[in-house]
Chains A and B, each alone.
Chain A
Amino acid sequence: MQLTSISKLTLIIFIVFSLGLVVLNTKPLTVKSICSINNKTAGLEPYIRVVGIITDVYVRKNFVLLKINDGCSIDAVMFNCNASCITKVKQGKTKVVDVVGKLKLDKKPILIISRLNLLS
């Protein structure tokens, strides 16, 4: 194969796969993919979307504790959740949640989520 052909071919491959990476960057993380990353919430930026099933809900005075599950389990907390928000949480089976940050409680990372959107 001539060098000119190789250089053209490799340039095309580079462009195609780079675009693939750009598309991948916009793909929402799933709970499973987060679990497979060494530090579960390392590098998570705000507004990364996390898809998973909420399996447990613990209602407290000023916040709600959740377990989000999709093959593995991640803890999450939501502050300032009013009565209608709690109803949504209890009703929902599959949720898309927006992560706004993370904190550590007893050395475990916990996602901070701001709102829940029920998937129909």
Chain B
Amino acid sequence: MLIVVSMLLGIVMGCITGITPGLHINLVALIVVAFFTQGISLNLAAFIVAMSITHTFVDFLPSIFLGMPDEDTALSVLPGHRMMQKGFGYAAFKLSLIGSLLGLVIAVLLLPVYSFAVPKLYGFVKQYMFYILLACLFVVLAKEKNKLECLAVFLMAGFLGIITLNLKHIRQPLLPLLTGLFGCSMLVFSLLTKAKPKKQVLKSISISKKEKIKAMIAGIVAASLVSFLPGLGSSHAAVIGSSFFKLSDAGFIMLLGSINTIVMLLSFLALMLIGKPRTGSAAMLERIININPSTIIMLYIIALITGFIAFIIAAKLGRTIAKNIHKINYTKINVAVLLFVVLLCIVVSGIYSLIVLVAATSLGVFTTTRGIRKMYLMGCLLLPVMIYYWPF
């Protein structure tokens, strides 16, 4: 009974962290684990899993409607915002939810496959990760008309990422970096071009079965590749996944939704298969419970139930926001969100983070004005990781 209560509390907290920009599940998990002692570790684990899975469903809301992403939803800002500007913000969000739910179900069904394959393939994939990332970059570039410009943006973002991640003067460097590149740049661009969203259509848009299958296959494969390896996360998986097939905005958002949830779920499995936590939530779980096949199955059941509940709650939340967003002055929202971001960066990361924020925002706006896909801005994380996996 207590497990059920813990799970429901986790779902509520996951909704709060998902909606609130800057509030991360790792922080909440850390506080909760620090406060509670042994004896209720299984219930705590249920809380953390439920919160983490719910967060992956809800965190597309600020990304799509406010242009305020977190690390895992950064790439959704442009297609999501584009759809919102046309009045299909709710549809975009619903697609991310469908991707998350389908991804969750497929990942649970593939549990025996992962359990067999991962220990055998882990070493091999880790050894060749540099080449895999390089190949994905080339595949994505090959489809572009302005290859040199895209590569230049990738390298500039990579340079910014390397300096920022090495900077000792700021805390949480990813906050100003990713918010600037993907979030603030979108808001600034909207302000400069005086963009206004249309009244939102509260209907889902259908995408072809073929597009759905492509998005899900790309999501499963890409998320599986990155979930067990150090230094890689949802954003890297999104770049890898998008190199497999050409997807529309709708298909891409579905891909992102699935990746987000699968990466989170597989990070719990990684604890058992390779003994390493790959997300903050998994790191907390490692501290509080003994990970073995029976606890993994229990956690997976909790995740599955959470997913279905979170889908319903998130859809209702998205509908409410979509119904009312056009009533609010969009320019004022943008300015308010920008001011909030500046304040958040100062409080969380320190005053020097504003230099990172301005540099990142300007690069993000430059990329948008040149018509280059925001994917290349992921160089800020991809290039440092490629250097990490450098085999020479």
Contacts and interface: CB of A to CB of B under 8 A. Distances in A.
Nearest to A39: B171
Contacts of B91: none
B209 interface: no
Interface in B329-367: 350, 352, 355-356, 358-359, 362-363, 365-366
A13 B168 contact: no
B365 A10 contact: yes
A94 to B, nearest CB: 21
Interface stretch (A30-38, A77-85, A100-108): A30-38
A37 to B, nearest CB: 6
Contacts of B350: 36
Interface string A1-42: 101101100110110011011101101010001001110000
Contact of B192 (A6, A17, A25, A43): A6
A118 to B, nearest CB: 24
Interface residues of B, number: 23
B187 to A, nearest CB: 14
Given A27-B169, A38-B171, A21 B192 contact: no
A18 B167 contact: no
A86 interface: no
The binding surface of chain A is classed by DSSP as helix
Contacts of A27: 169
A25 B369 contact: no
A24 B362 contact: no
B164 interface: yes
A42 B100 CA distance: 35
Given A25-B166, A29-B169, A18 B369 contact: no
Nearest to A7: B369
A25 to B, nearest CB: 6
Interface size class of A (residues with CB under 8 A): 20 to 34
B98 to A, nearest CB: 34
B365 A22 contact: no
B370 interface: yes
Nearest to A30: B169
Contact of A21 (B156, B355, B369): B355
B168 A22 contact: no
A10 B363 CA distance: 7
A44 interface: yes
Given A10-B365, A18-B359, 18 more contacts: A4-B369, A7-B366, A10-B366, A11-B366, A13-B358, A13-B359, A14-B362, A18-B159, A18-B163, A20-B355, A21-B163, A21-B359, A24-B169, A25-B167, A27-B169, A29-B168, A33-B169, A36-B350
